[in-house]
Structure formats: structure tokens, C-alpha cells
Amino acid sequence: MTFYESGFGDRLVDPANYPVEIVDFLKDERRALAEALVHADTLIEVGAMDGLSLEVLHTFPAVAYVGIEPALRYVRAGNQRLKRMGQDIRRRARFIHADATSLSGIGARIRGAPLVFFPFNSFGNIGDIKPVADVLASAGFSFAISSYMQTEHALEVRRRYYAACGYDELRFEQYTEGQRFMSREGFCSWAYSDEHLIRTFSECGVTVTFQRVGLDIQFVRGG
Ligand SMILES: C[S@@+](CC[C@H](N)C(=O)[O-])C[C@H]1O[C@@H](n2cnc3c(N)ncnc32)[C@H](O)[C@@H]1O
């Protein structure tokens, strides 16, 4: 069973474990996502959990939502959550039990111009990003990746955040590809370096740009 499927990941989305900087991260993320959505017809949220960005639909009445999530427990939670929401949201939103590499398969079923969005460092939870970059490139989708800055401050915030989640044997490793935290439960979260992202996407013919949206958060844009 994966880290997220077994429920260990629930702690990462429990506000009781958020340092104040993570609260700010999520506020900045919401604001920058709203700006990025202005030209989109469909928000495809990858690593959506139970719909991390679902609430943005209230501000964008014409935008549809597709949540892509590999952990079935969150797909179920997302569907339950939709049942409690108004009909207006329910008719525009759905969840798909799949991982990021299945994006190309759903392309044909998407209405209008999509924005593929990776919230709250979901991209950093993908261990092998090259197949995902390939799929984004071949589908030609616009995308925005919400990830941590590569700064001492962001690193220290992550350390406090993951420690508050109570993971066992939490350890940090630095590579040219980025900064990685791991734990005994199977937690593995990268903040990929800008150089690694530039190189990986350029191998698929995609240019990425970096938009600083807050003290600890940046959006990596492409497509
Ligand atoms: C939103 S991220 C939370 C990360 C955390 N905030 C951090 O700092 O690392 C977690 C989500 O990413 C999802 N995820 C992990 N690998 C994925 C993949 N290959 N494709 C799509 N989603 C993935 C997980 O299932 C989970 O729902």
C-alpha cells in the first residue's frame, strides 16, 4: 500500500500541523491559481486529494474541474465532498482515480482550454517526473506547478511542517536534482531544483518559467 493510500498523507493536509508559513503558502497558492485560471475553461488538478482547489470554482462559474488522484481513499472523499456541495459545482466537477501519467488519456474528454495544476507540491511527490513531463509536452497542455522555493527559509519551514506531522525517522537529503525529505512511513517529497526542472522539460521541448508567488512558494509555468 502506498504512503497516501495507507492514510499517512492525511497529516500533510491537517491544518493543525501547518506552521504559519504553510498557511501563507496556501493563501498565496490560491491567489496565484486564480490569476492563472483567467484564460482556462477546465482546471485539471493533479494530486487533487479530496479537491484541494475545488473552492476556486465559486469564483469561476464557467470553469469545469477534473481532480486526478492516484489514492482511492481521496477520490472517494472527493466524491463524498461533491455530494455535499451545490448542484452548480457538482455538475462541473469530477474525480478520476489515476496518476499524473494518465493525463494524455483524458485530454480528448476535456472541455475547452485546460490548465493542468499541481497543488501544494504534489509534483514534488512524484519520484520520476520525466514521464509526466513527456505527457504534458505531448498533450500540449498549459500547466502550473506549485512548489517550494529553493531557499534556506523554505527548507526550514518544510522541516518544521513535516516534523509537526510526526513522521518517524524524518531525514533530509540534498541532490543536484533538488531537496528531498523522506520518512520511515514512505513519505518522499522533493523540492526539485529549477535547473532540474528546466533540463527535464527542455528534453521534451517545453520551456518553463518561474513565477515567485510568495516567500516560500513559486509557480513553474509551461505549455
Ligand atoms: C498535494 S500533495 C501534498 C504534498 C505535501 N504538501 C508536501 O509538502 O510534499 C499529495 C498528493 O500528491 C499525490 N501524488 C503523489 N504521486 C502522484 C502521482 N504520480 N500522480 C498524481 N498525484 C500524485 C498523492 O496521492 C497525494 O494526494
Q: What's the 46 CA to ligand 1 centre distance in angstroms?
A: 8
Identify the domain containing residue 75 by its residue range.
Answer: 8-149+194-222
pLDDT level of residue 32 (50, 70, 90 thresholds): very high
pLDDT at 193 exceeding the cut of 90: yes
Q: Does 180 map to a domain?
A: no
Cell numbers linked to 11: 497529516
159 domain residue, yes or no: no
Q: Which residues contact 109 (CB under 8 A, 6 or more apart)?
A: none
Write down the mean pLDDT value for the chain: 96
Q: Whole-angstrom Cα distance, residue 143 to residue 208?
A: 9
Residue 108 has pLDDT above 70, yes or no: no
Give the CATH number, domain containing residue 83: 3.40.50.150
Residue 170 resides in a domain: no
Cα distance between residue 55 and residue 3, in whole Å: 26
Say if 72 falls within a structural domain: yes
Q: Which atom of ligand 1 is nearest to the CA of 100?
A: 20
Q: Is 49 in the pocket of ligand 1 (CB under 6 A)?
A: yes
- Assess if residue 164 is contained within a domain: no
How many Cβ atoms are within 10 Å of 191's Cβ, its own excluded?
Answer: 22
Q: Is any atom of ligand 1 closer than 6 Å to the C-beta of 69? A: yes
Other residues' Cβ atoms within 10 Å of the Cβ of residue 104: 14
The answer to whether residue 161 sits within a structural domain is no
For residue 96 and ligand 1, the question of a CB distance below 6 A is answered with no
Residue where the block lists cell 497516501: 4
Ligand 1 pocket member 179 (CB < 6 A) = no
pLDDT in tens, 113-167: 999 999 999 999 999 999 999 999 999 999 999 999 999 999 999 999 999 999 9
Q: Is residue 106 part of a domain?
A: yes
54-65: per-residue pLDDT in tens?
A: 999 999 999 999
In angstroms, what is the span from residue 125 Cα to ligand 1's centroid? 5
Q: Decide: 74 in ligand 1 pocket, CB within 6 A.
A: yes
**Cα-to-centroid distance, 126 and ligand 1 (Å):** 7
Q: How far apart are CA 107 and CA 196, in angstroms?
A: 26
The x, y and z cell numbers of residue 12, run together, are: 500533510
Q: How many domains does the chain have?
A: 1
pTM: 0.97
Give nearest CA residue, ligand 1 atom 17: 126
In a domain, 59, yes or no: yes
What is the per-residue DSSP string for 6-27?
A: TTGGGGGG-GGG--HHHHHHHH
Question: Ligand 1 in contact with 183 (CB < 6 A)?
Answer: no
